[in-house]
Structures are given as structure tokens and as C-alpha cells.
Amino acid sequence: MTSINKNYLNLKQNYLFYEIGQRVKNFSEKNPDKKIIRLGIGDVTLPLAPVVVEAMKKAAGDMADAATFKGYGPEQGYEFLKDAIVGYYAGCGVALEADEIFVSDGAKSDIGNILDIFGEDNKVLIPDPVYPVYMDTNIMDGRDITLIDSNMENGFLPLPGKDTRADLIYLCSPNNPTGAVYSAEQLKQWVDFANSSGAVILFDAAYEAFISDKSLPRSIFEIDGARSCAVEFCSLSKTAGFTGTRCGYTIVPKELVRDGAELNKLWLRRQTTKFNGVSYIVQRGAQAVFTDEGIRQTRENIDYYRKNAKVITDALDRLGIWYCGGLNSPYIWLRCPNGMKSWEFFDFLLREANVVGTPGEGFGKCGEGFFRLTSFSDRASAEEAMARIEAILKNN
């Protein structure tokens, strides 16, 4: 008789976005005349850069002719794309070899699949609040998980202490959901901790392109010592609007050895066995992102979102509401005013301003009393939403 993976029974349903949808639906049905503005959206809305679209059309054309047709490509990605990524990192002062880069269909896949190469006995450390995938993928393997509090006291940037014990450490910077970004000095504390304890840092850099402060690290490999303790996941989803186009990459340095094994070789074996590479067409689009023109065009989109973030944070500044994120992140994480709890503020905003955001409590217990707004809307919606929020909170 076939048995299932019993760890799946320990997964909780994530009701966050379902519950948001239900409350918005109920409100809309009762108030059909109200125009609801959504600042809870975690997905890009601007179209792909023209150079990316043209590169993909041309690549589709390559597939129409036997002379330029592409069959199976390397599971790890084409050299043309890996070389482009090497060049992109060189721009941050990070030297990589092409075979330290593994192209994939997105960071979410890799963040889940990387656990294949690790033992189930590893102790896992995850900040709270958190992107739910870190937690759920480890529950699926039955690993022992410890949460580390991320809160106002530590600026939503927890650091290792003398009691910290962990084998696998998840860090996300710029953070989802808080938008907080580690400084080089802070990341160095985690790198030193991992190197001295033999832990591995799983570093999620999906939002790196939103960093505008040049003193902040965009890659963990900007930190001395990271090559012997860290794996980095990145994605073109937010960098270049690829959420529906699907391309990301994972960097596993050759110096990263644990338990007598090179993790680069283990991951290569995993990917060549359970993956067949990313569509040639998509890889050509991704390559275009890293050209000079591609960087210019995609940065225009990011600047647009960044200005939306400024609309939001300027309003919060005028209201005197505490927040982090926004400047170097598409997310703005604010303290609910007047001591409201997350869902209380959600209902208040929906009812009084017809604005939808995301209750922080949905990302973990330390998110209670906080709220996430995002900059992925159009400008007019961000302006109108914040004008409404200012109006109701000034009168409050």
C-alpha cells in the first residue's frame, strides 16, 4: 500500500489572501458604488521592456527554422545568459564563475527545491514575519524550525545572538513583507556566524533591483566570507517584470562545502536529474534584460514603482506613522495607527477609505499590529489611495 509524505499533514492552509478576497467581496457586494483601490498586490503591473519583448519574438522565430531551432539546452542555462549574469554581478563588484550560476524558472522553485540536497536533520532558522514558502517547504520535509523575531526593536532586521543555533538560515533582503534591507555590517554578522558555526545562509535577493542606496549590499556575495557559507536566489520577476514570463537563477559558490560535499556539485546533480532547463525563448528575453538598453528600460519601470512608494511614504511621514521599507523596496511596512491590530486596520481602511492592503499578522505573529502596502499599482491609484487614507486618519 502506497504511503504519502506524512509531513504534508502538518501544513496549515494559508488563508491570508483567501480571507482578504472574502472580506473585499463582502464589502463590494454591500457597497457596489464604492471604488476600491488595491495596494495589497504583490505582482508587477507594468509591461515588459521593449528589448525583452523583441528578443523573445526573435527567439520564437529561431524556433521556426531547422538551422536555428533549439532542442534540449543545458539544464543549468545557456552560456549566453550565464555570462550576462556574471557581467551583472561584476557591476556590483562580485566576481562569479559561470558554472556557479544555475538558471531556473524562478526563485520560488529553487528555494523549494534546494532543500533536496540537505539532510532532514538540519535545524532551520526563519525570521518572523516571513514569506510563507520558507516555512512550508521545510514543514514538507519534517525539519525542526525555529523562528527569530523580526520587530521594531531590531528594525525588522534580526541578527544572530549568542544563543542562536541553526544549520540553515533564511535571510531575505530587501525583505518581503517588511521592505527592510540589511546593511553590509549586519550581513557580515550573519556571514561570520555561519562560517564559525558551519551553517548555510539561504539568501533571497529577489528584490535587489529596488535598492537605491548605493551603500546597501544587493548581493550577499558583496560580503567577505559569504562564498564559503551562502547560496543566493534571485529572480527577474521584480527586476524586470518576469512574474508571468518566469526566469530566475541561483548562485552556489564552489567554496561552499558542507559535510564533505561541494554544494555546487550536489545542486548540479539535483538540477540535471529533476529539471530540463528554462525555455530558450525566455532565456533570450532574460539575456536582453542585462544589456545596457535592457537595464535602462527595466530601471525605468522600477523608478515608476519607486515613485509610487514615495507617494505612500510621504503620506505616512505627514501622518507621523512609523514604517520601514519603501525607499529600497517595493514594500512599505507600517505600524497600524492608534494601536489597531492588523485585521482591525484592514477592515478600517476598507470601510473608510475603500483601500485594500495586507494585514501583517498574515506573515507571522510578529507581524501583528503591522500592515503591508505595495508600490505595484499605477500612480493615480497610489495617489488617490493615500489621499483617502490621509483624510480619514487626520480626522481620527
Of 246-275, binders to its own copies (CB under 8 A) are 246, 258-261, 263, 266, 269-270, 273-275
Site for its own copies in 336-365 (CB under 8 A): none
User: DSSP label at 114?
Assistant: G
Q: Does 394 bind its own copies (CB under 8 A)?
A: no
Closest to its own copies by CB, 181 vs 209, is 209
Contact pick of 33, 65, 153, 292 for its own copies (by CB under 8 A)? 65
118 interacts with its own copies by CB under 8 A: yes
Give me the half-sphere count of Cα atoms (radius 13 Å) on the Cβ side of residue 349. 30
Would you give the end-to-end CA distance of the chain in angstroms?
63
Q: Using alpha carbons, list the distances in angstroms from residue 173 to 180, 240, 373.
A: 7, 18, 17
Q: Which cell is 192 given?
A: 561570520
**Could you tell me which residues come within 8 angstroms of residue 167 by beta carbon, excluding any fewer than 6 positions away?**
118, 122, 123, 124, 198, 199, 200
CA distance 94 to 82: 14
Site map for its own copies, 75-114, x if CB under 8 A?
Answer: ------------------------------xx-xx--xx-
Compute how many residues bind its own copies; rule: CB under 8 A.
78
Query: Which positions from 27 through 46 interact with its own copies, judged by CB under 8 A?
Result: 43-46
Q: Which is nearer to its own copies, 259 or 314 (CB)?
A: 259
- Residues in contact with its own copies, shown as a per-residue x/- string from 158 to 197 under the rule CB under 8 A: ---------xx----------------------------x
CA distances from 13 to 4, 17, 18, 337 (A): 18, 11, 10, 29
Which CB sits closer to its own copies, 49 or 180? 49
- Is 198 a binding residue for its own copies by CB under 8 A? The answer is yes
Peptide bond into 177 cis (omega under 30): yes
Nearest distance from C-beta of residue 102 to its own copies, angstroms: 14
